[in-house]
Structure 1
Amino acid sequence: MAERKIDLIKTETRNVKWLVDNMRNELLKVDNSFQRQYVWLKKHQVKLIETILLGYSIPEIYLWGIDTDPDNGDTVYSIVDGQQRIGAVVDFIEGKFNLSVTSVAEKDASYANKHFSDLNSDEKKAIWDYPFSIRFIRQEFVRQDIVTMFLRLNSTNLSLNPQELRNAEFDGKFLKLAEELSNLNFWETYKIFNQQQVRRMQDIQFISNVLIFFRQGIEGDTTQTNINRVYDLYNETYEEYDDDKNLFNSILNEMEKFFKSTDEKIGEFLSKQTHLYTFMIITYYILKMHGEVKEEHVQKVSKFIDAYENTSNSNLFTTKILSDIAEYKKLSSEGTQSKSKRMRRIQIIKSVIDI
């Protein structure tokens, strides 16, 4: 009888000392194709360390053996699930954060507001000796088996959203381009995504939707089903990779003219993701028709925002356009994933700024 998958996994206990030593010796590798780069918020880090100090249990960790040194026997493991937990422990021991009293549950505890170096001997020992339950996956597992297991592991875990699951399932060119574009300074400069949204890969999904527009036009769905379909379609072959990358960069470069306008309300308005998506598409059309965003476009967007904020301002536009802007405002507050509503928002802006 064929060997069962479960027979290739063994559960053992390792303490924090083992985890820290293996991280420092680079024997534990973070695999971002399963989970995104370690970006837990401090409050989550603090909660984990406090859980250890209080002696409560922590969910098990999954490590996949990917290579063994034939000379010394050291095995290198890929962290399939648990990188945030391991990273928090290592960072705390290395003094990168303290147990701020605002985040701990036990406000009067002796460890509140302390770094690891400030803890008493018993508290330090409690951390070093804390036992983690680890599922060791043997090297005989192939990567597709690991992906399948990870997806099954998290299929009933509401903490993982569709984009995080896509990140584990796909490793092709479409995802790689979205990840590459997410590292551009634009997002941080104009505070488009907060740290929590970045951790949950909402920036990757937003960028993916813009790339889907490039491939499928304005009628392309932004539903999770269609995003999965596009990831699959362009997973291995994505001939437009460079063209889409250059186009995306061109749009952001032109968008900066809006953000750098002396009219500060434009940047504040466009930093909201619903509006940003719409105006990235609008900028795409401006580039196609005019080659660049001109001052007249910036001024019309400024007038549009004034009317958006006060739709009774009859001095700015005709009654018909003011009515359209009021409709845009309503559509922006409703379900933003609706294809018809998204298309109508873009149609309204195109008419307002005359493109």
Structure 2
Amino acid sequence: MKTTATNKKVRELMTMITEQTLIAQPEFQRRLVWTNRHKQLFIQTVIEGMPFPEIFICDGPYDLDTAAGSTYLVDGQQRVTTLYQYFTGSDQFKPGGTVTPYADLAIEQKRSFLNYDVVVRDLGPLASDEVKEVFRRMNSTNYSLNAMEVNNARFDGALKNAAERMSVWPVFDEHRVFNAADIRRMTDVRWCLDVIITVISGYFSRSDAHEDYLERYNDAFEEGKEVISNLADCFALLSELKVDDKSRAWQKNDLFTLIVEIYRLGADKCKDQDGLSEALRKFFSDVSNVAAGGAPSFYEDARQYHTDVISGSNERARRVRRGEVIHEVISSFFNVAKKNENERIDD
């Protein structure tokens, strides 16, 4: 395989993109989705003449008669795209801080920017499968990444940071919600993302909504302060209810449903903490009895709930049914209008 390292001027890359002779490969280039701040820092690096890592290209298809053809960008899509957004004044790049819009640069600054040398490693002619394999190997680790670890490598924005801050709340340690393996594989962050996205959008399957919302709220998560504050109130209410540490309520799937439904009703609208505490004690005791092969004493719906919490527990339909059961158990202890009680979060 040919691996020649050369330099190309930024102006050459910009011309190639404009003429569509340099083509990115987004179907396999699932790298970090930069925030605008990331982009600003990168452009500042170029303007100051500082180096950045090499990009990789390979031959694309070309005409044997005319020699006209294209080049594929194997690795470096975000960097090259940011350069092009800055150069063209795209609304996907917002100058700010120490970064002046390209159009407002002095002539010598524009010349310096366009003549910046980018280190380019040419892999030569590669088949499509070979291109993907090269990219995979350049970005592989020694074990398979789970969905949250992949998204962690791609996103470093507002929503992900909110989930990370939530994941280290003391309440999770106090009630041993996450174990060491959960924390090591970022299951705690994924769980917090599940909760945050669900309370703003509704129940969904597995982690299907993560990528969409992480990208949507990468630059800013304006409602985040209110959402996180309300979730903190939900956990504070559980602490006030003195839910036993041994209760199923602190297991991840059960806690997920309980927090979402308390959020839905409004933790600050709880009108009977003693009644709610007793109802939760009885309900989760019934679920534990069902799990042990017994019969529920207080809530027949505990059977359905148990089925939905142990089998396909992260499927949307299972989450919706669990939510309906918990909602029915706890709603009478909240001071909410009847019409609001009937508005399901999955609508």
The two structures have a TM-score, normalised by structure 2, of 0.54
CA distance in 1, matches of 2:251, 2:210: 21
Structure of greater Rg: 2
Task: Look up the match of 1:144.
Answer: 78
Task: Look up the match of 1:196.
Answer: 181
- State whether structure 2 residue 329 is matched by structure 1 residue 352: yes
- Stretches of structure 1 that go unaligned for 5 or more consecutive residues are 9-32, 35-66, 68-74, 76-136
SS for the counterpart of 1:225 is coil
- Deviation track 1:46-68 (CA, whole Å, cap 9, x = no partner) reads xxxxxxxxxxxxxxxxxxxxx9x
Per-residue deviation, 1:158: 4.5
Question: CA 1:5–1:325 in structure 2 vs 1: closer, same or farther (change >3 Å)?
Answer: farther
- Stretches of structure 2 that go unaligned for 5 or more consecutive residues are 7-30, 33-44, 56-75, 81-131, 333-347
Question: CA 1:233–1:272 in structure 2 vs 1: closer, same or farther (change >3 Å)?
Answer: same
Question: CA 1:212–1:295 in structure 2 vs 1: closer, same or farther (change >3 Å)?
Answer: same
Task: Report matched runs for 1:1-355 at 5 Å.
Answer: 7=5, 139=53, 144=78, 153-154=138-139, 158-217=143-202, 220-258=203-241, 260-261=242-243, 263-266=244-247, 269-287=248-266, 290-291=269-270, 294-311=273-290, 316-317=297-298, 322-355=299-332
Question: CA 1:288–1:257 in structure 2 vs 1: closer, same or farther (change >3 Å)?
Answer: closer
Question: CA 1:307–1:223 in structure 2 vs 1: closer, same or farther (change >3 Å)?
Answer: closer
Per-residue deviation, 1:242: 1.0
- Deviation track 1:281-330 (CA, whole Å, cap 9, x = no partner) reads 1221342683467111010011112222235556x43xxxx431111111
Tell me the amino acid that sits aligned with residue 184 of structure 2.
R
- Deviation track 1:174-212 (CA, whole Å, cap 9, x = no partner) reads 111111111211111111111121111111110001110
Tell me the amino acid that sits aligned with residue 249 of structure 1.
A
SS for the counterpart of 1:336 is coil
2:265/2:331 contact within 8 Å kept: no
CA distance in 1, matches of 2:206, 2:138: 24
Tell me the amino acid that sits aligned with residue 198 of structure 2.
F
- Percentage of identical aligned residues: 24
SS for the counterpart of 1:238 is coil
Question: CA 1:213–1:7 in structure 2 vs 1: closer, same or farther (change >3 Å)?
Answer: same
Tell me the amino acid that sits aligned with residue 195 of structure 1.
A
1:254/1:292 contact within 8 Å kept: no
2:158/2:218 contact within 8 Å kept: yes
Cα RMSD (Å): 3.7
Per-residue deviation, 1:159: 2.4
Per-residue deviation, 1:215: 1.6
Question: CA 1:292–1:283 in structure 2 vs 1: closer, same or farther (change >3 Å)?
Answer: farther
1:163/1:201 contact within 8 Å kept: yes
1:164/1:201 contact within 8 Å kept: yes
Question: CA 1:293–1:164 in structure 2 vs 1: closer, same or farther (change >3 Å)?
Answer: farther
CA distance in 1, matches of 2:145, 2:270: 41
2:175/2:245 contact within 8 Å kept: no
Question: CA 1:185–1:300 in structure 2 vs 1: closer, same or farther (change >3 Å)?
Answer: same
Task: Out of 270-279 and 157-166, give the one that drifted further.
Answer: 157-166
SS for the counterpart of 1:235 is coil
Tell me the amino acid that sits aligned with residue 349 of structure 1.
I
1:210/1:277 contact within 8 Å kept: yes
The two structures have a TM-score, normalised by structure 1, of 0.53
CA distance in 1, matches of 2:191, 2:199: 13
